[in-house]
C-alpha cells in the first residue's frame, strides 16, 4: 500500500509512505484502488480546516500530526466481500491520496453505497456516498477529468447560489466575490448569471484580472487594490473564497452599513484557518454545503436535487471547455511525486487559475493486474 501523508499544521509538507496490508478484505468489506484524483485549492481548504471541520477524520493515518488529505475522484473495486458491490465496478467519491482504501459498504443499491465504517458515521453523510459510474446518467468516460475537477466544486457552487437565492439574497442587489478566479467562485457566478436583480462583482489579484475578465460571468472585475473605488451605496453581500481575514475586514469597513450579509466558503489565500470575525458589520457565516443538501432533500427529494445538479453540471462542462477560449485546461500528472509537487504549488498559490490538475495514482503492479 502506498499513501501520501500530509503534515496537519503545514499542508505543503507531504511524504510518501509504503506499507503492507492484506489484499483480502474482511467479511462485509471492499478494497478500492483510487485511479484518477483531482488536486485543487479545495484540497488545501480541506487541510486548512481539517481539525475544525473534521476532514482529517475520514481517513485516519494512525500517526500523530499527519493526516490523509482527501480528494475527489474515481476508484475501482479490486476485491469485495460485500454483497451488491462487485469487483471491477468504478465509483466516484471522496478518497484518500493512496493506492487503495478499505471500506464497509452499507445501504447498497445499484446507484452506489455509503461507507459505513464506524469512524465515519458521525461525519457529514454527503462525503460518505459513493456513486457507481455505470448507474450515473451524468457520467461519461470522456469527461472523467472534468468530473473529478469540477463536480465537487460545482456542487458547492450550485448549493451556494441556491442558498443565496433561497434567502432572497438577504436583500442585496450586489454580490462581491473574492478569489473570483477560483473554480468554485466562477462556478457560483455561472449559476447566478442572468438574474436582473443581482450585479456580480469579481475581486481578484492583479495577475489574475485578465483571466477573470475573459470568463465573462461577472459584471465587473476589480483588483484588490481597487476595492476602495467601488461605490458603497447599495445593499451588498460578500462571499469570501479567499479566507483572508485582513481582506474580510477591508471589505466590511468599506461597505459598512451597506453590507447585509457575509459568508466564508474557502481558503484560497491561506492554509491557516482564520476565525470568522470582522471589524464591523454582520458577523461572517461559514457556508457548509451539506446543510443546504439536507434542506433541498427535504424540499425537493434527493432524485430531483440530483437531477438539477446533474443537468447544471453538464452545462457547466460545456461552458468551461468552449472554444475559442476555454476557462479550464486539464493538466494530467502521474504518480505520488507529481502530486506532491502540485500540492506544494497550490499551497504557494503558484498554479495558474486556468489549469485544473488531476493525477493518476499509479498503484502497485499487483493492483494493476487485479484490474
Mean pLDDT of the residues in the chain: 91
pLDDT of residue 188 exceeding 70, the answer is yes
Residue 264 CA, chain-centre distance (Å), reads: 14
The answer to whether residue 365 scores a pLDDT higher than 70 is no
Considering the domain delimited by 151-290, tell me its CATH architecture. 3-Layer(aba) Sandwich (3.40)
- Average the pLDDT over 205-222 and give the result: 95
Residues of the chain with CATH 3.40.50.720: 151-290
Q: What number of helices (H) and strands (E) belong to the chain? A: 9, 18
| C-alpha cell of residue 147 | 468530473
Q: Over range 92-118, report the average pLDDT.
A: 96
Q: Do residues 165 and 171 lie in contact, with contact meaning Cβ atoms separated by under 8 Å?
A: no
Contact 108, 86 (CB under 8 A): no
Check residues 364 and 247 and name the one with the higher pLDDT: 247
pLDDT at 57 over 90: yes
The arithmetic mean of pLDDT across residues 289-301, rounded, is 93
Q: How many CA atoms lie within 13 A of 37 on its CB side?
A: 32
Superfamily holding 2-148+331-370 = Medium-chain alcohol dehydrogenases, catalytic domain (3.90.180.10)
Where exactly does CATH 3.90.180.10 map onto the chain?
Answer: 2-148+331-370
Entry pTM: 0.87
Tens of pLDDT, residues 8-48: 999 999 999 998 888 899 999 999 999 999 999 889 888 88
DSSP character for 288?
-
Amino acid at each position: 500500500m502506498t499513501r501520501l501523508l500530509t503534515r496537519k499544521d503545514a499542508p505543503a509538507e507531504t511524504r510518501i509512505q509504503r506499507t503492507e496490508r492484506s489484499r483480502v478484505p474482511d467479511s462485509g468489506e471492499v478494497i478500492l484502488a483510487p485511479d484518477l484524483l483531482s488536486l485543487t485549492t479545495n484540497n488545501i481548504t480541506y487541510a486548512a480546516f481539517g481539525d475544525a471541520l473534521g476532514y482529517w477524520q475520514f481517513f485516519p493515518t494512525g500517526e500523530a500530526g499527519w493526516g490523509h488529505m482527501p480528494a475527489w475522484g474515481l476508484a475501482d473495486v479490486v476485491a469485495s466481500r460485500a454483497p451488491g458491490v462487485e469487483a471491477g465496478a468504478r465509483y466516484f467519491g471522496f478518497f484518500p491520496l493512496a493506492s487503495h482504501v478499505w471500506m464497509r459498504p452499507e445501504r447498497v443499491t445499484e446507484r452506489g453505497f455509503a461507507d459505513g465504517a464506524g469512524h465515519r458515521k458521525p461525519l457529514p453523510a454527503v462525503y460518505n456516498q459513493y456513486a457507481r459510474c455505470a448507474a450515473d446518467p451524468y457520467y461519461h468516460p470522456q469527461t472523467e477529468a472534468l468530473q473529478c475537477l469540477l463536480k465537487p466544486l460545482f456542487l458547492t457552487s450550485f448549493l451556494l447560489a441556491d442558498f443565496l437565492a433561497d434567502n432572497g439574497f438577504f436583500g442585496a442587489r450586489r454580490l462581491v466575490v473574492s478569489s473570483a478566479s477560483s473554480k468554485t467562485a466562477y462556478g457560483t457566478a455561472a449559476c447566478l448569471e442572468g438574474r436582473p436583480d443581482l450585479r456580480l462583482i469579481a475581486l481578484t489579484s492583479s495577475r489574475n484580472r485578465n483571466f477573470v475578465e475573459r470568463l465573462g460571468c461577472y459584471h465587473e472585475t476589480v483588483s484588490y487594490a481597487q476595492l476602495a473605488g467601488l461605490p458603497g451605496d447599495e445593499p451588498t453581500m460578500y462571499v469570501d473564497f479567499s479566507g483572508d481575514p485582513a481582506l474580510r475586514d477591508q471589505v466590511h469597513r468599506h461597505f459598512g452599513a451597506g453590507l447585509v450579509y457575509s459568508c466564508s466558503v474557502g481558503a484560497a489565500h491561506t492554509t491557516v484557518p482564520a476565525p470568522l470575525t470582522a471589524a464591523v458589520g454582520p458577523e461572517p457565516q461559514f457556508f457548509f454545503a451539506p446543510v443546504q443538501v439536507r434542506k433541498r432533500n427535504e424540499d425537493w427529494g434527493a432524485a430531483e436535487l440530483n437531477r438539477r445538479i446533474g443537468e447544471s453540471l453538464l452545462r457547466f462542462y460545456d461552458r468551461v471547455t468552449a472554444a475559442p477560449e476555454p476557462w479550464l485546461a486539464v493538466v494530467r500528472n502521474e504518480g505520488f511525486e507529481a502530486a506532491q509537487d502540485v500540492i506544494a504549488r497550490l499551497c504557494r498559490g503558484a498554479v495558474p487559475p486556468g489549469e485544473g490538475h488531476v493525477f493518476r495514482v499509479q498503484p502497485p503492479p499487483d493492483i494493476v493486474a487485479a484490474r
